[in-house]
Structure 1
């Protein structure tokens, strides 16, 4: 999706459903919005949950939305975790499918996505059976990493639509939410201290490591090797002898066919191991020894050496650096 185009088209669609005067009556102006955001940034709240709710309630009023959500993106998982939700009866909401358009676009493009229903009788059922006629979602960045999404949705009973001014406002709001998270939940000093204590040069962002560790996009015999390796992770040996046997090939034949396509078995196995190792380190409580065994390394030292070759970091350092940001 071209998010810039979506933003322009969405604003136009919303504008076609309501006059400028009615929008002004429904929504506070820019000056009032800035005052609200400043108050949210400087006020003290008894709990983190109360502060989250205050931001979402403010957004419902500013954008004439019926649902407000703060989602925590999990880059290694198919669903985003619901940190907070306000508005319609979604109190039991715990996660949102990250492949939904209003989640996937701002995550992929790292920018605000705005959509308004262009036709009176069209809606999109996007969550918990709620039919949506418009959405406004922007990424929230904490310590240089995408933490999650700030989303506001208009249901079938909503009036008007989202505007470019709404998009500008929600982006400012997202910066306030990020500051709230940094101060109350994920102190930025932690990562700075960890990096200073372990590695000062060459540390990439978590998103870069995720991209680097993606599974190989290969087909034919190499693709089959990747499939068999994935199936055997944590269950059986990942040695070439057993992989060849499961594919009904001799070891030499498998090596020759991979060589014909310019890739080796060791390279494919390395990439599969790298992919799963990041998942295990960040999303699970498995010990380093358990991860080493699951990935069929002979011992912890062999896994540590391989992981350092892939990332420049030891597994334990990588876990400490990125566990709170995944």
Structure 2
């Protein structure tokens, strides 16, 4: 699998959002875009035995596993588990600013410890065959990104890392919540482009504040290797993913929105047969018709009825009918 090719456009790993149901939904819209799991912590896999967190459907490929951790031996073991499950990429989280990861000395706080990040990456690379990548910030707290980011990239490159995704914001570990860290620190896209110029041998993707395919193409045309889109791909997935295969990869466009709904029915049926709840899948589908007439009725029907006991595919039919009636 040429995973670097697919990394030309990717959907960011997002806690509580990019689970396996979300990824199947996104894959129906784009065959090419690289998808990521939610962050899975190495301790949960190695010490907690939570192998179920690695579960994915082969139809999701190309899909990458994101790990959180700071212990090289533990991350190596977790990476080996991920590779054995079939992931083609193992990504190390060096960007999450939450208190939980800060207290565990992983996530964005690792920007302050590049040598440890390099040690972790080297151990992961040595332990298994999948490509090891890093997702980082441009810096944390009072660091000067123009100084620390080149040193950070140089250090992890020396450890064998060849692909990096850079969220073009600092993380403020003191004073800002994780949600505020996604919006308040100013974006510095130009710095990321300067890093690509300084490290031409690295595959560098840019992340942060990119909300359209047009914006993604503009970054690619400036010479960046890849673009990672987060919240826009979740809240307005059709706007990002339905035309991604054509606009970004030069292939055929994706299906229309109604075909996406039909494509989800087998996955929903299998999930319900396993004892799952409809809303566990349909909560990711609320934004499918975002911006179109009647979209509010689609969202409301799924939200109100999807969680009810015994709810099944008929809720999709009601939601489509309500939307179409409202739009008529």
So what's the TM-score if we normalise by structure 2? 0.25
So what's the TM-score if we normalise by structure 1? 0.25
Structure 1 or 2, whichever has the larger Rg, is 1
